[in-house]
Structure 1
Amino acid sequence: MTSEPETVAELVLARERDHRPGLRFEDRELSHHQVTAAAAARAALLRDLLDARTPRHLGVLLDNTPEYPLWLSAAALAGAAVAGINPTRRGAELARDILHTDCRLLVTERAHLPLLTGLDLPGVRVLVTDTPAYDELLAPYRGAAPEISPDATPAARLLLYFTSGSTGAPKAAVCSQRRLAAAGHSLVRHFGVRPDDVHYVCMPMFHGNAVIADWAPALAAGAGVALRRRFSASGFLPDVRRFGATYFTYVGRAVQYLLATPARADDRAHALRLGFGTEAGAVDARRFEERFGVRLVEGYGSSEGGAAIQRSPGTPDGAVGRAAPGDDLAVLDPGTGKECAAAEFGPGGRLLNGDAAIGELVNRGRSPFEGYWRNAAADAERVRDHGWYWTGDLFYRDAAGYLYFAGRADDRLRVDSENLAAAVIEAILARWEPVAAVAVYAVPDPVAGDQVMAALALRDGVSFDPHAFSEFLLAQGDLGTKMAPRFVRVLSRLPVTATHKVARGVLRGEGFRCTGPGEAGDVWWRPRGGEAYREFTAGDEAGVVGEFRERGREGVLGEG
């Protein structure tokens, strides 16, 4: 039995003589052989452009075009590292990301050049892919023999990808050739990826999900890759059919947006068999399979690689799965470091002891976490105590050992001295048929702690019915008495980040405040002692702000 390649460079080189379709984008198609040859040309160029005396890092500021995976493959062959640069960042923040990761080369396209106008990027050379100058620069290297640099070791850095946080600048997590190759092999085994599969990459490639969970297993199995420049709900099925896609990954609210598209008689006319991702939720996963005939597998893996949970047959609804064999995952109280109590459930699956059961997921065993680039403080926050890896994610665990995701640590709410998890409430509200997407978050309480607020994006053509919403809440047996939203903001679409995760910071910043004259109906509320929701008017807002002022807590509201 042959051993699995330990580096991504070996996986790239293994496709050198493979003339099957390897990469498709819009009307273009490259064979695996052509992909390897194009990567070899770029690797040869890298060896000439990057100084071995400095970190061999290049930034990639591109949409999902063929150049992105070609530069990933080139960096692997050359023993260099790619920093995925987020095109939604602007100005000084964008410059900071490029300079923080010590990029000496920045690969971009004409569409993104305006983002660089006025930025001070000393020592950074910019290559613009869709220009004659780029073609001329590459021309002498075309035909370069594919070869693996001595620097392309298993431990060599290959990815620097930014992880978002609620405070501070994004951190650049390190991923080595060994870890990315191992992730690819693991997913190939877990999902039975075949060489004749086609992986549809519609999530942004500057994010770890698209590269680690979609591109890497395709590379490891010799499967084809089809790219979408940017995610499009309306373009999803046409792409899947055109490319013959069999597998895709998703992050955040992409599944909800797909479900919000008009249903068609041919929704099941495709070859897609599997979707893998996070944050779809059990309700929408069932809806997706019923409508499109595609199974969604909700997984969990911290983007830094520090902990993972495997879903297996028999996993209860709502659970992510159990720890992988050999892993020592625990749900700990962040304050005491002690293990939380096992979850207790009431009628309808209601979590009865959230205060005692919900804690932070911690890997107490060996962790694949490879650190953040030049951020010792962030490393120390993530790995502490006995070398344990603290994920920053909230979970609870049942008596059988199944783990349930309860949100980010920053998404915890404290209502009337009871700790609640936003993800638990979101899963309940997502059952309401008119809802396309939902986000739950904390807004301040005039006295102490938090109140629950929900943002609801409704399906096309549906208006918010406060009476029907109240009736729905009363019918949910697992909705605790503290969980019902006091405030509801109704939107046509939730604000999202570039990776299609809900921009909770935007929602928290808006809070319960009315959005302006004539738009007060966007916010609804249930006054204390009331059961029915009604419009939150400017007069209501003034009254609530007055309560904060009377108690000297107006400062917690921020600017309004």
Structure 2
Amino acid sequence: METFARVLLDRAGDGGTGLLFEEERHTWADVVRESRRRAALARHLLTAGRPPHIGVLLDNVPDYVFWIGGAALSGSVIVGINPTRRGRELAHDIRHTDCQVIVTDTAHAALLDGLDTGVPPGRVLRVDDPGHADLLASAKHADLLAPARHTGLFASAEPVPAAEPQPRDPLLLLFTSGSTGAPKAVVCGQGRLAAIARQAPAFGITAGSVTYAAMPLFHGNAVMANLAMATGAGAAVALRRRFSASGFLPDVRRYGVTYFNYVGRALAYILATPRRDDDADNPLEVAFGTEASARDMADFAGRFGCRLIESYGSSEGAISLRKTPDSPPDALGLPPGGADVAVADPATGEECPPARFGPDGELLNGDEAIGEIIARRVTFEGYYRNPAADAERLRDGVYWSGDLGYRDADGFFYFAGRGGDRLRVDGENFAAAPVERILSRWPPVVMCAVYPVPDPRTGDQVMAALELDGLFAPEAFAEFLAGRADLGTKWAPRFVRIVPAMPLTATNKVDKGPLRRAGWRGGEVWWRPGRELRYEPLTDDARRCLEEEAAAHGRRL
């Protein structure tokens, strides 16, 4: 089993284009050289005897790629810090993963102001600082196996010894969220990322390809479904700082993009841009991703003249489902290579019976057919410093995904929602508990509950139920949310239900079951029609529009 370090070093003499970014062009040889410089710097900055963890808080810029490469070569670990988290939650992510160093820039460094991250100011590196290039030069970059030396600014440091990384060594910590609200950092090792890198041919990625990395690099989709495979094939990677629907097609044409990876509603946002007669006049060949609706997939392929490969998977890497040519439109597909994937009852562990459908495609036996998607005989590298979460996922040799699904008589899998209190909005995973803690700070709140409701196209939307001391004041609520520094960018509720009394269990815990079943139907419900923090009553006409949009995309709300 090889390491991603060796995959990267295969590119050391490659004069072909490796990175395209705005007006910059870097060959693969440049990428390896810059990665070696950061590997040397990492060995000097990291303290031996502590986890060699480097947090990266950046947009998609070349330095992010160089630091991933530097970590691979030095045997250190990149922690992808999610910039949509704020305040105490952001600080907790950094402390939880034992970051010794944070790589950021001036804009993102402002997010750290006043936070107790456990990282000394002198170990917060700003890549746009004029002195950063001098810092890299002072590290005296060495070859992968050459010992680090004390020089210049690092004369008093005790560098981490250089050693050949091994396949089982961790390389990435990629955050997800659990139902308790505690962050979970998925471990991705050198060997796993190397194996992913060698899958490039299956996705049509060759040395002549240009991949488009617009999804955030702190997310597993961008690293695994783009950067790793491009490295393995020697393809060029065109970086976009942040995803832009309006910038998508101009970028595809500008860089000659042949491959694009996506998550969640990215396709929907692109399809919402004004249509032009020449949209199909572009070099794009393949788009690969997750969670697009059947309608969006068909519309995207037709409009831009490319092939779509839709899949189901996660950063944990334990389960993968892939659409096949004969997959039903709303199905996730089948497990590749005969992997042992099933749907099981979480209470009994027994496999659920196949789904039965009515004449209009409605699921007739959801109560017995829907269970948790599981896999047997898989490799799961676990979560960093979270044995409880490890035990929840892997039980008696069986990996429990936490996602709900069902399977038809032909073996095709379907997605039925996310178990527990997890939400996935615009491709971003997070938990309800941190949002609840923030909403509970609004003075009128007596009790609150946050839970997912289906998005009309894909994924979830955030819904909150509020029991208030008085009437709901939408302007005051919006003002409160706008002033919360620790409110993630995807966390503001899209729907708000006002309840006279919160439903409780016999043990006086909030019972979210009735709230989830009601969704946004009936009662006093407010919503945000757009991205602005502006709430208005959800009218019957608005409800009908949501239902019609969902039906058009094959979703039932």
TM-score range normalised by the length of the shorter chain: 0.7 to 0.9
**Matched position secondary structure for 1:118:** coil
Who is 1:382 aligned against?
393
Who is 2:63 aligned against?
67
Question: 2:317 is matched with which residue: 296, 305, 314?
Answer: 305
**1:404 aligned onto 2:414:** yes
**1:257 aligned onto 2:279:** no
**1:24 aligned onto 2:20:** yes
Shift of 1:140: 3.1
Shift of 1:320: 1.6
Matches within 5 A, 1:79-478: 79-124=75-120, 125-141=123-139, 144-145=142-143, 147=145, 149-186=162-199, 188-364=200-376, 366-384=377-395, 386-410=396-420, 430=457, 439=460
Shift of 1:192: 2.8
Shift of 1:441: 7.4
8 Å Cα contact 1:107-1:129 kept in structure 2:
yes
Shift of 1:76: 0.2
Question: 1:43 is matched with which residue: 31, 36, 39?
Answer: 39
Who is 2:430 aligned against?
none
> Relative to structure 1, is the Cα distance of residues 225 and 498 closer, same or farther in structure 2, using a 3 angstrom cutoff?
farther
**Matched position secondary structure for 1:330:** strand
8 Å Cα contact 2:271-2:300 kept in structure 1:
yes
Q: How many residues align?
A: 456
Aligned structure 1 segments of 4 or more residues deviating by more than 6 angstroms = 440-446, 497-500, 508-511
> Relative to structure 1, is the Cα distance of residues 354 and 312 closer, same or farther in structure 2, using a 3 angstrom cutoff?
same
8 Å Cα contact 1:393-1:409 kept in structure 2:
yes
Question: What amino acid does structure 2 have at the position aligned with 1:114?
Answer: A
Deviation string for 1:321-373 (max 9, x for gaps)?
Answer: 11222421110111222211101122233222222211110112x22211111
> Relative to structure 1, is the Cα distance of residues 184 and 407 closer, same or farther in structure 2, using a 3 angstrom cutoff?
farther
8 Å Cα contact 1:37-1:144 kept in structure 2:
no
Shift of 1:316: 2.1
Question: What amino acid does structure 1 have at the position aligned with 2:71?
Answer: A
Shift of 1:131: 1.1
8 Å Cα contact 2:311-2:321 kept in structure 1:
yes
CA distance in 2, matches of 1:219, 1:258: 27
CA distance in 2, matches of 1:388, 1:212: 24
8 Å Cα contact 2:145-2:163 kept in structure 1:
no
CA distance in 2, matches of 1:438, 1:260: 17
Who is 1:523 aligned against?
538
CA distance in 2, matches of 1:305, 1:177: 13
Deviation string for 1:487-521 (max 9, x for gaps)?
Answer: xxxxxxxxxx9999x758654678653369xx775
Question: What amino acid does structure 2 have at the position aligned with 1:403?
Answer: F
CA distance in 2, matches of 1:350, 1:321: 18
8 Å Cα contact 1:64-1:202 kept in structure 2:
yes
Shift of 1:177: 0.4
Question: What amino acid does structure 2 have at the position aligned with 1:152?
Answer: P
CA distance in 1, matches of 2:419, 2:541: 27
Who is 2:441 aligned against?
none
Shift of 1:169: 2.2
8 Å Cα contact 1:61-1:108 kept in structure 2:
yes
**Matched position secondary structure for 2:525:** coil
Shift of 1:209: 0.7
> Relative to structure 1, is the Cα distance of residues 315 and 135 closer, same or farther in structure 2, using a 3 angstrom cutoff?
same
> Relative to structure 1, is the Cα distance of residues 199 and 314 closer, same or farther in structure 2, using a 3 angstrom cutoff?
same
8 Å Cα contact 1:422-1:441 kept in structure 2:
yes
8 Å Cα contact 1:40-1:147 kept in structure 2:
no
**1:54 aligned onto 2:50:** yes
What stretches of structure 2 of length at least 5 have no aligned partner? 147-161, 424-450, 468-485, 499-519, 529-533, 547-557
TM-score (norm. length: structure 1): 0.75
> Relative to structure 1, is the Cα distance of residues 359 and 18 closer, same or farther in structure 2, using a 3 angstrom cutoff?
same
Question: What amino acid does structure 2 have at the position aligned with 1:113?
Answer: A
8 Å Cα contact 1:411-1:441 kept in structure 2:
no
**Matched position secondary structure for 2:280:** coil
Deviation string for 1:194-230 (max 9, x for gaps)?
Answer: 1111110000100111011111111111111110000
Could you say what the CA RMSD is over the residues aligned between the two structures, in angstroms? Answer: 3.2
> Relative to structure 1, is the Cα distance of residues 31 and 151 closer, same or farther in structure 2, using a 3 angstrom cutoff?
same
Q: Structure with the greater relative contact order (CA < 8 A, sep ≥ 6): 1 or 2?
A: 2
Shift of 1:302: 2.3
Deviation string for 1:145-203 (max 9, x for gaps)?
Answer: 355852411011100010134431221111100011112223x1321321111110000
8 Å Cα contact 2:259-2:287 kept in structure 1:
yes
CA distance in 2, matches of 1:498, 1:207: 19
Question: What amino acid does structure 1 have at the position aligned with 2:273?
Answer: T
Residue identity over aligned pairs, in percent, reads 50
**Matched position secondary structure for 1:348:** coil
8 Å Cα contact 2:210-2:235 kept in structure 1:
yes
What stretches of structure 1 of length at least 5 have no aligned partner? 414-420, 431-436, 447-496, 536-560
